């Protein structure tokens, strides 16, 4: 049996950290949730993470900051950004940096699945 | 007479030019010299004509003159001119004197002696009047006329007549005392009747004295018509001598009412002219109406009676003239006051408490729209007082009656056309010697002010709404974020829930948990909407007790993500046990929001230091609460501090510049103060201070120092949920 893929979530919003892991587990993933980029970097999940669902706006290190840091560390984890700010300039920017997808909250289950599929295919 | 008028007119002008001469301008000096020469010529002509008339007024055969005008003309000329020029005008009369007297075939030495005595009377008269009336010749006052009568018409002729009689006795061997008597009475009467009109017309004291077109002119006409008709008849009535001795005082008895009329109603000028008219009529009638044996006695009798009558009448006319002037001044002052009251929409009133006697000024009648003929009573006032204010009105009356203290209150009137007026009443209570209470006060119609205050309040409320709507625009992204977060949770939870239920076997516990979280997130979204609705609703200002800390927390919660997006680090230092304030919660939150957003915007360009924003509440001195918002932004120049609060002044590219202006007006409406000050370091601090509500403090919980806004926000949400 293939080990379940680990999906990590980094979001400062507690409600996201509660609800999203439940849904992803229903999809069949192993899930870890972190409240900040710093917490994620400090954990031992970085290397095992097959896909990173990352909030853009966070106090301290933001989503794009983490993306750059991972690139710098040559940790090429597929990233799906999620954000509650409807800012049309942010999406092309993060996609150009190599992100798989950028979803605006609230997003549908369908959109999330498709983004995850693309991300996991990328690995 | 025309010659005298011209003389006087020109000498007045000469005296006017005398003042101008000080300017030392050649042209003026030349004209001044010309004026003096013209005046001197006219005095010469006047003196000549006066003397000719004096001779003509001698009643035949060979009686003394009834009047002797030359001396009076000289006196008037000297009274009208400054002493330094008296010698010119006295010398000017010399040629006329020579011509007249030489023609009368008098010896040269006597002619010169008489000139000296004539001049002495004029000099004495003018010098004495000048000395005792303070330099002027005011013939419109009792004091001026009394001084003139005493000095010019009695003392001066009295003294100079000794010289006159002496000259005649020495040169002609005439009876000294007879001559003295003749000259004295003639001179007194002439001075009394001729000098006042000449001087009054010459010095322009004719305002309110000369007849003007209209009723006054008619009165003058009526007086003279009556005087001439009655005088003409009485002085020309010559009953057989001796038959009507008893009637010897009839003429003056008949004439007196006309003279009284002139003195009481028409003033000193008319009085002098009326006496002159009587003299003319008496002379025309031959002065024979006195029924005395000799013409000389008749003349003397006429002179004495007229002198005795004229001196007090002139004084009386002076008194009456003063009274009229005082009355006119009072009327002018009353008109002035009335106009002032009308312009200021303020009337005055008095109220005698024991008799309820009320006196109103014109303006109060206008304010109440009552006819001035209607007697004012409290009941009448009650009919105008707005029905809702009737209890207040009578309570005020009762209190005033009771304690006699000053009072001040406002009430409304309802007029007959149902319109409403707002009155401001202030009254001061005084007690007279008998301890009776009287109020004197002012009533101001403040309707316009009140209406404009209401209009202003409405505009302010609308402007505040615009400012809130502007903030709403600035907050759109933030609001979208606040709503999207819980929505996202709802959708994710619901999706998970469906999947858990669809599994085999269904994960009921997991589904229950996700459903519970769905509800929680729904509540969270709903809270955001509720807060937004409260903050951006357009409604009239209300007054309630407001916990400034709680109001601040709510605003912070709404704007947190906006601040966070701008990378602002918010530090909230909310004082524990802060007293409540009284005011409109939404408006105060609007101000706080405005200050927060401004502070955030001020730090947009800051990259070299943390974008630190401190919001602080604390007790302020004077039982007040202060809230301040301190940023580390661009700050402002000290000279711009006043402009910051001007409407449409902005340093932001997208700002309307009404936020601070509206904020300040809101705080001032709360009897507070809003101000700005540059920080010691970078940035600026905006603060407001508002009075505490009576009693009550907030709960003891506090944000404390917050360095992670999101955590604070989450805590806040959980507290609310």
Residue B457: CB atoms within 10 Å: 14
Quote the CA–CA distance of B546 and B585 in Å, as a whole number: 6
Quote the CA–CA distance of A23 and A110 in Å, as a whole number: 12
Q: Say which residue, B442 or B239, is predicted with more confidence.
A: B442
* Mean pLDDT, residues B359-363: 89
The CA angle B229-B234-B236, to the nearest 5 degrees, is 95
Is some CB atom of chain A closer than 8 A to the CB atom of B480? yes
Nearest to B101, CA basis, from B59, B48, B57, B147: B48
pLDDT at A115 over 70: yes
pLDDT of residue A38: 93
Is some CB atom of chain A closer than 8 A to the CB atom of B712? no
Q: Are B358 and B349 in contact (CB under 8 A)?
A: yes
B607-631 pLDDT, tens digit each: 888 888 999 999 988 889 999 999 9
Quote the CA–CA distance of B428 and B430 in Å, as a whole number: 7
B146-191 pLDDT, tens digit each: 999 998 889 999 999 898 888 888 888 878 888 888 889 888 999 9
B691 phi and psi angles, rounded to 5 deg: -70, 150
- From chain B, the residues in CB contact with A58 under 8 A are 710
Q: Are B586 and B465 in contact (CB under 8 A)?
A: no
- From chain A, the residues in CB contact with B489 under 8 A are 13, 15-16, 18-19, 106
- Tell me how close the Cα of A92 comes to any Cα of chain B, in angstroms: 18
Minimum CA–CA partner of A55 in chain B? B485
Q: Say which residue, B21 or A53, is predicted with more confidence.
A: A53
pLDDT of residue B621: 86
Q: State how far the alpha carbon of B382 is from the alpha carbons of B198, B361, B392, B400, B411, in Å.
A: 62, 18, 11, 16, 12
Quote the CA–CA distance of B223 and B189 in Å, as a whole number: 22
pLDDT of residue B240: 61
- Tell me how close the Cα of A37 comes to any Cα of chain B, in angstroms: 14
- The DSSP bridge pattern shows strands A79-83 and A101-104 to be parallel
* Mean pLDDT, residues B639-645: 70
- Tell me how close the Cα of B496 comes to any Cα of chain A, in angstroms: 4
> Which of A26, A39, A83, A104 to mutate to probe the B interface, most B CBs <10 Å?
A26
CB spacing of B710 vs A85 below 8 angstroms: no
Report the first-to-last Cα separation within chain A, whole angstroms: 19
B280-317 pLDDT, tens digit each: 888 777 655 555 666 677 778 888 888 998 999 999 99
Is some CB atom of chain A closer than 8 A to the CB atom of B657? no
Quote the CA–CA distance of B364 and B346 in Å, as a whole number: 7
Report the first-to-last Cα separation within chain B, whole angstroms: 112
Q: Which residues contact A17 (CB under 8 A, 6 or more apart)?
A: A9, A11, A33, A34, A35
Is some CB atom of chain A closer than 8 A to the CB atom of B484? yes
Give the three-state DSSP class for B450.
helix
Quick one: CA torsion of B290, B293, B298, B301, rounded to 10 degrees?
-80
How many cross-chain Cβ pairs, A to B, lie less than 8 Å apart?
88
- Tell me how close the Cα of A23 comes to any Cα of chain B, in angstroms: 4
- From chain A, the residues in CB contact with B499 under 8 A are 23, 26
- Tell me how close the Cα of B557 comes to any Cα of chain A, in angstroms: 14
In the structure encoding, which two tokens stand for residue B191, read together? 């001075």
B413-463 pLDDT, tens digit each: 999 898 999 998 999 988 888 888 899 999 999 888 888 877 777 776 666
B411 phi and psi angles, rounded to 5 deg: -145, 170
pLDDT at A82 over 50: yes
- From chain A, the residues in CB contact with B521 under 8 A are 15, 19
pLDDT of residue A79: 95
CB spacing of B489 vs A85 below 8 angstroms: no
Nearest to A41, CA basis, from A67, A14, A78, A3: A67
pLDDT of residue B646: 62
- From chain A, the residues in CB contact with B714 under 8 A are 14
* Mean pLDDT, residues B43-72: 79
- From chain B, the residues in CB contact with A84 under 8 A are 480-481, 484-485, 488, 561
CB spacing of B564 vs A86 below 8 angstroms: no
Q: Are B468 and B536 in contact (CB under 8 A)?
A: yes
CB spacing of A22 vs B514 below 8 angstroms: yes
* Mean pLDDT, residues B586-591: 85
Helix (H) or strand (E) holding B346: strand B346-352
Minimum CA–CA partner of A61 in chain B? B567
Q: Can you tell me the ipTM of this complex?
A: 0.88
The CA angle B46-B52-B57, to the nearest 5 degrees, is 120
Is some CB atom of chain A closer than 8 A to the CB atom of B519? no
DSSP letter for each residue of A59-122: SSS-HHHHHHHHHHTT----EEEEESS--TTHHHHHHHTT-SEEEESS--HHHHHHHHHHHHHH
Q: Report the predicted TM-score, pTM, of the whole model to 2 decimal places.
A: 0.51
Nearest to B72, CA basis, from B47, B55, B49: B47
* Mean pLDDT, residues B689-695: 84
CB spacing of A15 vs B489 below 8 angstroms: yes
Quote the CA–CA distance of B642 and B7 in Å, as a whole number: 70
CB spacing of B491 vs A109 below 8 angstroms: yes
Q: Running DSSP on this structure, what letter comes out for residue A30?
A: E
pLDDT at B514 over 50: yes
The percentage of chain B sitting over the pLDDT mark of 70, rounded to a whole number, equals 81
Quote the CA–CA distance of B377 and B357 in Å, as a whole number: 7
Considering only CB atoms, A14 lies closest to which of B495, B564, B714, namely B714
Q: What is the Rg, in whole angstroms, of the alpha carbon atoms belonging to chain A?
A: 13
pLDDT of residue B626: 95
Is some CB atom of chain A closer than 8 A to the CB atom of B421? no
pLDDT of residue A3: 58
CA atoms within 13 A on the CB side of B287: 28
Considering only CB atoms, A16 lies closest to which of B480, B481, B488, namely B488
Q: Which residues contact B521 (CB under 8 A, 6 or more apart)?
A: A15, A19, B486, B487, B489, B490, B493
B648-678 pLDDT, tens digit each: 555 554 454 557 777 888 888 888 999 988 8
Quote the CA–CA distance of B155 and B158 in Å, as a whole number: 5
């Amino acid at each position: 049996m293939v080990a379940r893929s680990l999906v990590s979530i980094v979001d400062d919003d507690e409600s996201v950290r509660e609800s999203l892991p439940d849904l992803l587990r229903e999809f069949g993933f192993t899930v870890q949730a972190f409240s900040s980029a710093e917490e994620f970097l400090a954990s031992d999940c970085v290397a095992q993470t097959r896909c990173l669902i990352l909030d853009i706006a966070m106090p301290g290190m933001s989503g794009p900051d983490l993306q750059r840091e991972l690139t710098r560390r040559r940790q090429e984890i597929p990233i799906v950004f999620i954000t509650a700010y409807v800012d049309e300039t942010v999406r092309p920017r993060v996609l150009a940096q190599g992100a798989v997808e950028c979803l605006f909250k609230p997003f549908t289950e369908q959109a999330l699945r498709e983004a995850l599929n693309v991300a996991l295919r990328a690995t | 007479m025309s010659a005298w008028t011209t003389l006087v007119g020109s000498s007045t002008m000469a005296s006017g030019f005398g003042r101008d001469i000080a300017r030392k301008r050649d042209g003026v000096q030349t004209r001044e010299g010309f004026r003096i020469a013209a005046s001197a010529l006219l005095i010469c002509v006047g003196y000549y004509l006066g003397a000719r008339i004096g001779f003509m007024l001698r009643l035949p055969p060979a009686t003394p003159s009834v009047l002797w005008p030359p001396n009076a003309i000289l006196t008037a000329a000297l009274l009208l001119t400054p002493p330094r020029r008296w010698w010119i005008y006295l010398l000017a009369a010399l040629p006329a004197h020579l011509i007249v007297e030489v023609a009368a075939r008098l010896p040269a030495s006597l002619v010169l002696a008489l000139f000296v005595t004539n001049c002495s009377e004029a000099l004495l008269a003018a010098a004495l009047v000048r000395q005792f009336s303070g330099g002027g010749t005011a013939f419109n006052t009792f004091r001026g006329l009394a001084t003139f009568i005493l000095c010019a018409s009695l003392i001066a002729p009295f003294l100079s007549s000794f010289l006159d009689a002496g000259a005649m006795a020495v040169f002609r061997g005439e009876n000294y005392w007879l001559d003295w008597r003749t000259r004295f009475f003639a001179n007194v009467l002439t001075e009394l009747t001729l000098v006042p009109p000449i001087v009054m017309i010459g010095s322009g004291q004719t305002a309110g004295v000369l007849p003007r077109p209209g009723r006054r002119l008619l009165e003058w006409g009526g007086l003279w018509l009556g005087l001439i008709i009655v005088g003409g008849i009485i002085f020309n009535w010559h009953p057989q001598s001796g038959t009507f001795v008893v009637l010897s005082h009839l003429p003056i008895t008949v004439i007196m009412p006309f003279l009284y009329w002139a003195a009481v109603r028409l003033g000193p000028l008319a009085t002098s002219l009326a006496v002159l008219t009587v003299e003319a009529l008496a002379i025309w009638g031959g002065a024979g109406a006195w029924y005395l044996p000799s013409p000389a006695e008749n003349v003397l009798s006429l002179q004495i009676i007229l002198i005795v009558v004229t001196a007090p009448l002139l004084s009386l006319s002076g008194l009456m003239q003063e009274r009229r002037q005082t009355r006119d001044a009072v009327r002018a002052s009353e008109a002035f006051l009335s106009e002032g009251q009308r312009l200021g929409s303020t009337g005055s009133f008095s109220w005698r408490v024991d008799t309820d006697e009320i006196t109103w000024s014109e303006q109060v009648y206008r304010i109440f729209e009552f006819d001035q003929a209607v007697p004012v009573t409290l009941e009448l006032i009650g009919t105008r007082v707005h029905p809702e204010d009737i209890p207040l009105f009578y309570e005020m009356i009762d209190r005033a009656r009771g304690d006699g203290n000053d009072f001040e209150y406002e009430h409304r009137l309802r007029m007959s056309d149902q319109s409403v007026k707002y009155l401001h009443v202030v009254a001061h209570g005084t007690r007279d010697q008998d301890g009776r209470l009287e109020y004197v006060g002012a009533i101001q119609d403040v309707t316009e002010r009140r209406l404009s205050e209401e209009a202003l309040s409405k505009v302010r409320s609308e402007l505040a709404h615009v400012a809130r709507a502007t903030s709403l625009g600035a907050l759109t992204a933030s609001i979208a974020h606040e709503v999207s977060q819980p929505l996202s949770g709802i959708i994710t939870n619901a999706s998970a829930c469906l999947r858990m239920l669809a599994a085999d076997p269904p994960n009921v516990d997991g589904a229950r948990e996700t459903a519970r979280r769905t509800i929680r997130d729904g509540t969270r979204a709903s809270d955001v909407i509720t807060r937004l609705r409260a903050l951006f609703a357009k409604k009239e200002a209300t007054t309630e007790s407001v916990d400034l800390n709680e109001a601040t927390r709510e605003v912070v919660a709404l704007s947190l993500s906006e601040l966070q997006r701008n990378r602002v680090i918010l530090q909230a230092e909310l004082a524990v046990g802060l007293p409540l304030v009284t005011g409109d919660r939404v408006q105060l939150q609007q101000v706080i929001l405005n200050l927060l957003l401004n502070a955030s915007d001020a730090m947009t360009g800051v990259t070299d230091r943390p974008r630190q924003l401190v919001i602080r509440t604390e007790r302020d001195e004077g039982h007040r609460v202060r809230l301040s918002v301190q940023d580390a932004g661009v700050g402002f120049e000290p000279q711009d501090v006043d402009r910051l609060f001007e409407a449409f002044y902005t340093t932001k590219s997208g700002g309307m510049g009404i936020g601070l202006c509206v904020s300040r007006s809101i705080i001032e409406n709360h009897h507070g103060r809003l101000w700005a000050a540059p920080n010691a370091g970078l940035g600026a601090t905006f603060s407001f201070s508002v009075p505490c509500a009576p009693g009550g403090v907030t709960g003891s919980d506090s944000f404390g120092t917050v360095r992670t806004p999101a955590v604070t926000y989450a805590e806040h949400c959980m507290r609310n949920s």
